[in-house]
Structure 1
Amino acid sequence: MRIPHIYQAGTIEVGTELQLGDDAAGHIGRVLRMQPGQQVSLFNGEGGEYLCTISQANKKNVYVSVDEFHDVTSESPLKIHLGQGISRGEKMEFTIQKSVELGITEITPLFSERCGVKLQGERLEKKHQQWQKIAIAAAEQSGRNFVPVIHLPIKLEQWLTQPSDETKLTLHPRAEHSIKTIDKLANFNATAMRFVVGPEGGFTDAEIAATKSADFVDIKLGPRVLRTETAALTVLSALQLVYGDLA
């Protein structure tokens, strides 16, 4: 049986007893119904994982003894930042979850002209917290010891103008370049990339022009038009295959 891999924020020290946070304790105590004596693997996002033994467990509180530290990683050598046009309902959650499984480093949800989702104030903050929890759960499930950052949503033009030395890519069905040819770009960076994907309605002509002004290079994935959630995951998979660790 696989040892559960659980995120626990904060300091974890070998040789100590640790009370788990509410989310970790709830997952272990209520969902998995684990008992004292069973083992869990904890990670705090700072690298490596900690093998622990449950010393006390109920539906509200879980205590573990921290037995060993293992300096292991499943992170890709390729750092990828996705700028994702916010999509409706579960599509955005699906994109975040699967992107984390595929090794994304950062995701910034983007408001654009054709974005059909309106978020602000308390509703925006709750949605952002929900997206980050989805990223944590996906990191747990996929065995990552790093939790990708889900940034607060911003406008597309703000994201495009952020200083960056990454390879910058935009999807376009009639682009000259493909993922296989971006290594010929003058400012190509094989270890750090960012790419932007439009919302369900796509980008306007003015927004496409703005990506070019910000030195983003159009790339194509093939002759078919992909849905926004399919496009993001396809680009990520292709980048990991060619420049990362997907084999």
Structure 2
Amino acid sequence: MAAPRIHHPEALQPGQTVALPPAASRHVQVLRLQPGDALTLFGDPLHGGEWRATVTAMGRQTVTVQVGEHVAIEREPARAVHLAVGMPANERMDWLVEKATELGVASIQPLVTARSVLRLSGERADKKVAHWQAVAVAACEQCGGNRVPPVHPVRAFADWLAQAAADVALPGAFLSLAAGARPLHDWPLDAAACRVVLGPEGGFTDAEEAALRAAGWQPVSLGARVLRTETAALTALAVLTVGAHGHG
């Protein structure tokens, strides 16, 4: 049986004894691991890859482990795809974050657009983002990803676009049903990283699409069918990462 994968977002060293963060400690306790049991730590921002580790002590609220060998393995796509999305309502955003993480998304930017059903701000938005970040961590623990994609704070579409437009070095495309949008698989993309943005239920307004075009974003299409936001996001990720998987 494979050792459980536990997220530990700090730099580690062989032989080091560390206390796991609260969420990781709770996870280990739920798994009913005992001293001497093996686990795998991932999320090291300095070394990447994975660390072999062994549980050394189980407290009521804390778990201590000894760090062992570092394994320099990565399971991320060779192309980093940064996703911005008009948040779908209900539980669909949870599902989108989970599955996008499994597909290897590089980052997720939740947006509030003109047609958004889900509108978040303030403390409620912060709590949702923290929840989605935890969903991404759990997805990495399950799928083998060693780099958890950041879920950025919720942004209003206009504010986000004004900042995103300044990053001209990173190619950007938006999903559109408008005539003239080229198929996504025909997007001439040689870059190792790119950005894709899509609207919520109902899509972007004409004004939002015009603003994206004016900022240099390319309109692309996934075909004649109208896909739900979460389906479209995952389809776009799959198209852009197929054949672009590599290991470090």
Q: Same fold (TM over 0.5)?
A: yes
Aligned length: 240
Q: Retained in 2: the 8 A contact 1:168–1:194? A: yes
CA–CA distance in 1 between the matches of 2:102 and 2:217? Answer: 25
Q: Equivalent residue for 1:53?
A: 54
**In 2, Cα distance between equivalents of 1:220 and 1:121:** 34
Tell me the SS of whatever aligns to 1:150: coil
- Counterpart CA distance in 1 for 2:187 and 2:74 is 28
Distance apart, 1:116 and its partner CA? 1.3
Partner of 2:7: 7
Superposed, 1:185-224 pairs within 5 Å as: 188-224=189-225
What CA RMSD, in Å, does the superposition of the two structures yield over aligned residues?
1.5
- Matched residue of 1:149: which SS? coil
Q: Which residue of structure 2 lines up, in the alignment, with residue 96 of structure 1?
A: 97
Deviation at 1:11, TM superposition (A): 2.9
Contact 1:80–1:105, Cα closer than 8 Å, also in 2: yes
Could you tell me how far apart the structure 2 residues matched to 1:220 and 1:179 are?
A: 6
TM-score, structure 1 normalization? 0.92
Contact 1:98 1:233 survives alignment (8 Å): yes
How far did 1:48 drift? 1.3
1:33 corresponds to which residue? 32
Amino acid across the alignment from 1:143: G
Which residue matches 2:18? Answer: 18
Taking the aligned partners of 2:153 and 2:60, their CA distance within structure 1 comes to 32
Q: Secondary structure at the match of 2:185?
A: coil
The counterpart of 1:171, out of the listed 156, 170, 175, is: 175
Could you list the per-position Cα deviations for residues 126-177 of structure 1 after superposition, in whole angstroms to 9, with x for gaps in the alignment?
Answer: 1111111111111111111111111101111222232222221111233441
Shift of 1:75: 1.4
**CA separation in 1, counterparts of 2:118 and 2:193?**
29
Give the structure 1 partner of residue 109 of structure 2: 108
CA distance in 1, matches of 2:202, 2:225: 16
Mapping 1:36-185, distance limit 5 Å = 36-46=35-45, 47-161=48-162, 162=164, 163-164=166-167, 165-173=169-177, 174-183=179-188
Q: Determine helix, strand or coil for the equivalent of 1:128.
A: helix
Q: CA deviation at 1:219?
A: 1.0
Any stretches of 5+ residues in structure 1 without a counterpart?
none
1:45–1:147 CA contact under 8 A, matched in 2: no
Superposed displacement of residue 97, structure 1: 0.8
Q: 1:55 Cα shift?
A: 1.1
**Residue 27 (structure 1) shift:** 0.5
Check the 8 A contact 1:35/1:57 in 2, yes or no: yes
% identity of equivalent residues: 38
* SS state at 1:12 partner: coil
Q: Post-superposition shift, 1:239?
A: 0.7
Contact persistence 1:83–1:159 (CA under 8 A): no
Q: Any stretches of 5+ residues in structure 2 without a counterpart? A: none
Give 1:58 deviation, angstroms: 4.6
CA distance in 2 between partners of 1:144 and 1:113 (Å): 34
